[in-house]
Amino acid sequence: MIKLPKKVLIPTVLFFLALLFTTSEIIKLKEEAEYTNVDVIVSDSPIVFYFGYKCPHCKIVEKYLADNEVADKIGFSMKEVYKNPDNADEVFARAELCGIEKKNLGVPFLWDGEKCYQGDEDIIEFFKVKMQEESAAENERSANGAETAMTLPAEGENKLTYYYSQNCPHCQVVKQYMLDNKIEEKLSIFRKETTQIDRYHDEAMAKEEACGIARADMSVPLLTIGKQCYMGEEQIINFLKEKLNEK
């Protein structure tokens, strides 16, 4: 084993320490440069997601947001707090509104305009619920658009209302019959999807209750006209056949 003289050893060690320090500083500066201007501001949304540089739980939320393309469906801002003191002050102020003390405050943190959410699980659950609400709202808009496009019943005439679920196999049988026989070109029917739109579900149950149908037997497909109910594909298709024969 060759021993280096002390005069050579000390400068060598110092050189490698300096090199190691310089390399780590370069890596650190490079990483920090990547986080320049990372804030995303959506001015017309009250929802703000606060995260921290290299925060592991924040990364979990960020991955969920990216994998599910949440930003394409829900507007929200993103603000980094470790390197931006203004953002940090903003979090402190909003946490105070929620009664959260500084010692209990951390990221990931979310403000929805009224309430605070902390931790990856609560924040991801928040976005899941918001996505479901947005999906239901979109389906309702589509359903309302479909109803508006139909020929409305004349004043005083009993209207036909068809309640269905997108995932119901019996509803698919009725749907196919309607398509094959161009029912909606011949009869004025309001279609209402009950799985995505809660008020249509409640409305269908109220109609079935008024028709004397036991709660345990309530289901879709359901067709109503006035105070009459037709439930199941067989009853509905037979009724539609009779209506067509009256034309």
Encode pLDDT of 193-210 as tens digits. 887 667 788 889 999 999
pLDDT digits (tens, 9 = 90+) for 169-178: 899 899 899 8
Categorize the per-residue pLDDT at 97 as very low, low, confident or very high, splitting at 50, 70 and 90.
very high
User: Do 77 and 40 contact (CB within 8 A), yes or no?
Assistant: yes
Give me the domains of the chain, ranges plus CATH numbers. Answer: 48-132 (3.40.30.10), 150-246 (3.40.30.10)
pLDDT at 10 over 80: no
pLDDT at 11 over 80: no
In this prediction, residues 212-232 reach a mean pLDDT of 91
* Buried/exposed code over 109-119 (b: 16+ C-beta within 10 A; e: otherwise): bbbeeeebbbb
- Give helix 233-246 / helix 169-180 axis angle, nearest 10°: 20
Is 0.85 surpassed by the pTM of this model? no
Tell me the three state secondary structure of residue 163: strand
pLDDT at 152 over 50: no
User: Do 81 and 51 contact (CB within 8 A), yes or no?
Assistant: yes
